[in-house]
A and B are shown apart, each in its own frame.
Chain A
């Protein structure tokens, strides 16, 4: 039964989540803390990959969606005293609405124009966070208040200052995201995305509404990215304009390219590799970004489709 490609890929994805769960028992405090961050950023990359890896749309403005969830979760807590779960759900809803609006405009363009339009939207969002600094805290940012460091759901208390709690929440969110994306990309929607990616004109000729297909990718991608932003703000109790900067758009692209665009687990792997490369080299050299860059170039030479993408092409064709 495990030899069935479909079963193998299901097993792989569930095993990956299970591995992260079991791994938590042997992790040191430090690695538990940073893997929590990596898992949340992986959700961001996972969302980016839906648009780029599957629908073939290269966005340079995904920081906008991350920041959208980030601020939509943090600001109501800071200014209105909202509870954490409401703020999180609100952020996801707002991210979906913003992704729909941005998608409806940006998807009227193609190729380089799409990249530029998404980049421009993102820069507008970034400068908006700076301009309305009375509300957002601008560049300095805001620290979320004490009441936002814990919440209760059906009688169960969650303490966000506890590293273990944060780890398992991040893992839960990542697992749900992985399984949702896995289901989408293996269903009809995923095939439509790939069809648009491979040949949009032909897909349109076959009677598909390619605009709608791309818009769905944009909405799912933006919502996942916004969810990641919301989780990041709530977990680490800080919101600031830096998280809306172009660097975060590039990070999502790098994670995806490095791990393997068009594979569900690739962006997660890419996030882990990037994070640990920077962390490792920064201990030994001030030129750690240079060292990381050299390693990335080497990786791309030997794994031109990203690590998992290349493995998929050469040996594991069944990886979705």
Chain B
């Protein structure tokens, strides 16, 4: 309760007394221990990074790996001297993958933990629900969400997505390969809520630009636990079945899809790895996926052309060659998303160093410094690959991979370029006041 009663009506008077006492104390301390003065003035006050984490709720499997990745990154940054000579402290709060709790966590970071930034959110509804609070509390908020919401201009100047490409860009970059190699007549199966709508809206546009068409859109309600009744809606002339589902129903979905097609000739199948992040491809129900294709941002299974940066990243976070935890081969990572936590922390570090960040009073400088960034070359700090960053829309653009399921593992068959995923910006956050 003591922290509740930390203000009173006579605050000004008390503040003056405190300042007088503080100044006297510091002057005396300086006589005896100069290092103590540095400590008091905060020169080694840690940079506090508030991590808004999906520890519970539908995003928990992602949250577990986001936390491990963030912890490994902070550990590395601290080993190398921290940010502006100050250690980084990661303060984690569970948002329950819930937008209401997410907004509360942002308030807690800004006013109780007094973090310098908030960071690490994945699920779109949590990002969108939290962003008004981050903007009004003027807390720079770096999300690792993949949604198009940041680049769309729906949020505010304090929200950034510099470490992972958005879904719209991913689809634009992959549509040409899909149209050329898998087919142009597509049926889409997607969750009947916002996450699915990004796919519905932007993939249908992207495939149309390649001369293709979406024959049927099959939205699946979020409460659905059996999918058999949806499959007869798939038109016979479908060449590509595009699927993206998230949650515990995915295994049932794949199993029932396999039962539906049986030994009949099936269309080519393209899916988003989001469906199977943290799921082992050797799971018996997933045999039907052999020969199908998936989008991956960062290949889960080590590829023949593995970079030294991927190797280093795996070593630091504790991921083996199959994308599982080095401590438990059944604990599969969310490899196509979690690299964003690693890269985003290094971007925060870079921006803080550019503006000489010293504390919350520099938050607006930090925003402008982040906006001034333009590219992140492939490196140890950016192991997924090179990216360019558009400060106007607060969004980065990187390479993507299309992988084929072979022998219960994913092998990359195509890699896009950054330019493949570029689109015309639809907003300019720089026009918003700080």
Interface residues of A (CB under 8 A from B): 25-31, 33-34, 37, 127, 130-131, 133, 137-144, 149, 161, 236-238, 240-243, 279, 282-283, 286, 288-289
Contacts and interface: CB of A to CB of B under 8 A. Distances in A.
Contacts of B56: 286, 289
For the complex of A and B, the 7 pairs showing the least CB-CB separation, nearest first, are: A140-B194, A139-B193, A30-B112, A29-B111, A30-B111, A237-B132, A139-B194
Given A26-B5, A28-B112, A286-B94, A141 B132 contact: no
B109 to A, nearest CB: 10
B107 A33 contact: yes
Interface string B40-59: 00000000000000011000
Contacts of A30: 107-108, 111-112
B291 interface: no
Given A26-B7, A143-B154, A240-B129, A288 B94 contact: yes
Interface of B: 3-9, 55-56, 93-94, 98-100, 103-104, 107-108, 111-112, 124-125, 128-129, 131-133, 136, 147, 149, 154-156, 192-195, 197, 221-223
B99 A240 contact: yes
Contacts of B7: 25-28
A37 B103 CA distance: 11
B402 to A, nearest CB: 26
Nearest to B103: A236
Contacts of B136: 149, 161, 237
B107 A141 contact: no
B104 A37 contact: yes
A242 B4 contact: no
Contact of B93 (A28, A161, A282): A282
Nearest to A37: B104
Nearest to B130: A238
23 contacts: A25-B8, A26-B5, A28-B112, A30-B108, A127-B221, A133-B194, A133-B197, A137-B194, A138-B194, A139-B194, A140-B195, A141-B99, A142-B128, A142-B154, A143-B128, A161-B136, A236-B132, A237-B132, A238-B129, A241-B193, A283-B93, A286-B94, A289-B56
Contacts of A27: 4-5, 7
Contacts of B195: 139-140
Contact of B9 (A25, A37, A282): A25
B124 A140 contact: yes
A130 B193 contact: yes
Contacts of A29: 111-112
Nearest to A247: B98
Contacts of A37: 104
Nearest to A162: B136
A236 B128 CA distance: 12
Given A140-B147, A141-B129, A28 B221 contact: no
Contact of A242 (B94, B125, B132): B125
A237 B222 CA distance: 25
Contacts of B124: 139-140
